[in-house]
Amino acid sequence: MTYIITSLCLRDSGCVEVCPVECIVPGQPREEWPWFYIDPDTCIDCGACVPECPYEAIFPEDEVPDAYEAAGGEVQSMPAGTPGFDQPYEGTNHHGDTVRLQYTRVLEAGEIVDLTPDIPPNYLYFGVDHPDYEGEPKYGMGYDALEMPYEPD
Ligand code: SF4
Ligand code: SF4
């Protein structure tokens, strides 16, 4: 099993600092990979990252909700070109740095959202195949993203 970062992630970065195996990596380029991602092959299922996320974006893989009921006001972020995600977001991360995302939307109270499609990107970002994407490999930078200068904005 692994833990999964979902589209409720707003790149706060708090989770990165507590992971004992350093398997959480910022998505780059953020237009394609807007969240942070957990390497499923390295995650040891300790759960330490979960309480660090101010947006409650992290779940054990088998508990990612297929019917997440929004409290209202949550911001969901997606790759460029995702229909319905056309609002810019600006906030601050764990260190007080500005975070800007271009492709987001704000959830309404009571809205039901399936977050399970957010599972495969955590695999694909690290080049790990996922059955939902068989025949359609789409690999991200994985740990190579750590070699890039970190630009929260
Ligand atoms: S703490 Fe939450 S919002 Fe911040 S990077 Fe981790 S999952 Fe994303
Ligand atoms: S569950 Fe533990 S090992 Fe897995 S990503 Fe979170 S902090 Fe890291």
Q: Report the number of distinct structural domains present in the chain.
A: 1
Tell me the pLDDT tens digit for each residue of 5-56. Answer: 999 999 999 999 999 999 999 999 999 999 999 999 999 999 999 999 999 9
- For tokens 């999964």, the residue is 4
CATH code, domain with 48:
3.30.70.20
Is residue 46 in contact with ligand 2, taking CB distance under 6 Å? yes
Q: Is residue 60 part of a domain?
A: yes
Tell me the pLDDT tens digit for each residue of 61-92. Answer: 999 999 999 999 999 999 999 999 999 999 99
The number of C-alpha atoms within 13 Å of 149 and in the hemisphere containing its C-beta is 2
Q: Is residue 153 part of a domain?
A: no
Give me the domain span that covers residue 73. Answer: 3-147
Is residue 21 in contact with ligand 2, taking CB distance under 6 Å? yes
Please choose from 9, 16, 43 the residue to mutate so as to test ligand 2's pocket, defined by most ligand atoms within 8 A of CB.
43
Q: Is residue 121 part of a domain?
A: yes
**Which residues, in sequence order, are bridge partners of residue 90?**
100
- pLDDT of amino acid 149: 74
Q: Is residue 152 part of a domain?
A: no
* CA of 10, closest atom in ligand 1: 3
Q: Is residue 111 part of a domain?
A: yes
Q: Is residue 61 part of a domain?
A: yes
Is residue 5 in contact with ligand 2, taking CB distance under 6 Å? no
